[in-house]
Amino acid sequence: MKKIIGKIVIKILGWKIDPNTPKELFEKCVVIAAPHTSNWDYPIAVYSMAALGVNLRYTIKKDWMKFPYGGFFKLMGGIGVDRSIPNNRHQRMNLVSAIANLFKKHDQLAVIVQAEGTRALQKKWKTGFYYIALEANVPIALGYLDYQKKVSGIGKMIYPTGDIHRDMSEIMDFYKNITPKFSDKFALDERYSGSK
């Protein structure tokens, strides 16, 4: 049902979906979606993934997954993150490790993580998505919304090697040709793109 609704909504909005979808998207991966410059970005990304048959999830504090809100957040793709202190530890688990642990508990999981962190102009992206994928040993799906072509999809999969400069440079190289809704609110990460 979600797939049908996704296809209908995307068509009504006048968008097309890139049909070249990597198989890993239906297995386990961290999904980043860029550019992120508009409130429309998230719904378009979610409906695009639904149209492809992908159950895209986002992380939320575990406490929010309880009654009375839990049902709503679960329906919207929320998945609870538990950072509580395990019996054999003295401090809370960091967020990267907590999200990476989710992949151990699921046979299939596609989690969207904001790379830019905000719709405002950011010249340095948040790299949590990279370290989540590295620790979970899953690929990073390069989700995109190209407003000039009105095409959304997954451009490619990046398998993190641990060499963040090399891997992030490859990610920046992909996004340099994607047109955002508001170009003045989008920048590649200057640490890896070669642009200052």
Task: List pLDDT tens digits, range 22-55.
Answer: 888 899 999 998 899 998 998 899 899 999 999 8
Least confident piece of the model among 59-68, 153-162, 164-173: 59-68
What span, in angstroms and rounded, lies between the C-alpha atoms of 175 and 47?
Answer: 21
Q: Can you give the pLDDT at residue 148?
A: 96
One-letter amino acid for residue 122 of the chain: Q
CA 46 to chain centre: 10
Q: Residue 146 pLDDT > 90, yes or no?
A: yes
Please tell me the pTM assigned to this model.
0.87
